[in-house]
């Protein structure tokens, strides 16, 4: 069986992945799960730029940019943005110039956060970095910079925070079909798919993709790491509705049907929590797998908490999407 979404082929797409990413079962960690079967979708295992979920979005974003004749891509993010790193890598692969507008919006001033991790890789990948304070509007700066470059004859494409425009979200609509095909081949039926929720594109794309192949919106559970549940819900509803329209589907779901939890957000985006540290060490020491401290670490803490609190029954299958972000660990050295 293949779970295809035909309308996806209409949109320009730059190939950045080497094939499907594997699904693996966490058999050692399961010894403490009360019989819940835990699987991970390894979207951290992508060859380009250190891998991670943003590459799925960038396939469609840069596909659109190239179709428009762009020679330069500009995007925005926090100082340690995974999206910024992978935009720089994807632009290098495509032969495009890349500029990154990065804000110091996370209250960390240590040298590792300021200059190591993703920032180090941004520079190695050849991106021009614009360093803004947390009070500045990065998109406004990016648009002004794009206007300057256009006056000099450059053709500029501006990508949004996290790559999470409706076009970027198509990458995770395609991933929904990929997961369903893999599950059939493995003779599995997942009871829930679990993801981090930052800029909302991964969640919204999966929701739209699964709706397009007959699942409910609640099939995808998101753990918010950037904003409150209320704000995350509004973002995902708006974006999943837009993606469904791009896929030629009626957006029949309601905002109340979205499955989002913010109990592991802590005091804010990029701020470490004790539960994140426990979850990260637990997966590392049982399975040898590494989460990042900003996104997947908090979301995996949410998954472990849900298992502990009885959300899932013995024998049920849960799939956690590992979204990458490993370089962030080196920026958060002091947190560990």
In a domain, residue 256? The reply is: yes
In a domain, residue 60? The reply is: no
Adjacent-strand bridge partners of 104: 133
Q: Tokens 């970027």 label which residue?
A: 168
Residue 93 confidence (pLDDT): 98
Among residues 3, 33, 81, 165, which one is catalytic?
81
Mean pLDDT across 225-246: 98
In a domain, residue 62? The reply is: no
Last residue of a domain, one of 162, 177, 196: 162
Q: Tokens 């991106």 label which residue?
A: 127
- 82 and 216 both lie in a single domain: no
- 261 and 148 both lie in a single domain: no
Residue 330 confidence (pLDDT): 97
Structural domain span for residue 84: 67-162
In a domain, residue 10? The reply is: yes
b/e code 247-284 from CB counts within 10 Å (16+ = b): bebeeebeeeebbbbbebbbeebbbbbebbbebbebbe
Q: From residue 169, give the alpha-carbon distance in Å to each of 55, 141, 146, 286.
A: 11, 23, 23, 32
- 262 and 322 both lie in a single domain: yes
- 289 and 230 both lie in a single domain: yes
- 314 and 205 both lie in a single domain: yes
Mean pLDDT across 273-288: 98
- 128 and 217 both lie in a single domain: no
pLDDT by residue (tens digit) across 180-234? 999 999 999 999 999 999 999 999 999 999 999 999 999 999 999 999 999 999 9
- 186 and 309 both lie in a single domain: yes
Q: What is the tally of structural domains in the chain? A: 2
Residue 3 confidence (pLDDT): 66
- 147 and 177 both lie in a single domain: no
In the predicted structure, residue 2 carries a pLDDT above the cut 50:
no
- 262 and 298 both lie in a single domain: yes
In a domain, residue 1? The reply is: no
In a domain, residue 26? The reply is: yes
Q: CATH number of the domain that 205 lies in?
A: 3.40.50.1100
In a domain, residue 61? The reply is: no
pLDDT by residue (tens digit) across 19-53? 999 999 999 999 988 999 999 999 999 999 999 99
The model's confidence at residue 1, banded by pLDDT at 50, 70 and 90, is very low
For 261, the enclosing helix (H) or strand (E) is strand 259-261
In a domain, residue 207? The reply is: yes
Q: Is 81 an active-site residue?
A: yes
- 251 and 308 both lie in a single domain: yes
Bridging pattern class, strands 97-104 and 259-261: unpaired
- 86 and 154 both lie in a single domain: yes
Residue 109 confidence (pLDDT): 86
Last residue of a domain, one of 117, 139, 162: 162
- 92 and 78 both lie in a single domain: yes
Average pLDDT of the chain is 96
Last residue of a domain, one of 162, 184, 203: 162
């Amino acid at each position: 069986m293949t779970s295809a979404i035909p309308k996806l082929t209409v949109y320009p797409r730059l190939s950045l992945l080497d094939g499907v990413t594997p699904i693996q079962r966490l058999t050692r960690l399961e010894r403490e799960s009360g019989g819940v079967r835990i699987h991970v979708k390894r979207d951290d295992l992508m060859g380009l730029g250190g891998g991670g979920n943003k590459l799925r979005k960038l396939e469609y974003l840069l596909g659109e940019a190239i179709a428009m004749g762009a020679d330069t891509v500009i995007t925005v993010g926090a100082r340690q943005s995974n999206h910024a790193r992978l935009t720089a890598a994807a632009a290098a692969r495509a032969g495009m110039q890349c500029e990154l507008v990065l804000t110091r919006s996370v209250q960390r001033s240590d040298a590792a956060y300021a200059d190591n991790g993703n920032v180090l890789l941004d520079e190695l990948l050849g991106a021009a970095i614009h360093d803004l304070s947390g009070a500045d509007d990065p998109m406004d700066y990016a648009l002004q910079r794009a206007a300057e470059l256009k006056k000099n004859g450059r053709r500029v494409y501006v990508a949004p925070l996290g790559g999470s425009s409706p076009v970027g979200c198509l990458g995770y609509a395609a991933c929904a079909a990929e997961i369903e095909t893999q599950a059939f081949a493995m003779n599995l039926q997942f009871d829930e798919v679990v993801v981090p929720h930052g800029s909302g594109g991964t969640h919204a794309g999966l929701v739209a993709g699964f709706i397009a192949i007959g699942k409910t919106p609640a099939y995808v559970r998101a753990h918010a790491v950037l904003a409150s549940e209320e704000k995350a819900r509004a973002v995902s509803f708006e974006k999943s509705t837009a993606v469904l329209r791009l896929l030629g589907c009626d957006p029949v779901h309601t905002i109340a049907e979205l499955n989002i939890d913010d109990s592991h957000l802590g005091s804010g985006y990029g701020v470490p929590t004790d539960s994140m540290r426990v979850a990260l060490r637990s997966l590392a020491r049982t399975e040898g797998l590494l989460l990042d401290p900003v996104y997947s670490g908090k979301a995996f803490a949410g998954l472990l908490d849900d298992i502990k609190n009885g959300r899932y029954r013995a024998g049920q299958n849960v799939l956690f999407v590992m979204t990458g972000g490993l370089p962030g660990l080196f920026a958060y050295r002091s947190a560990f």
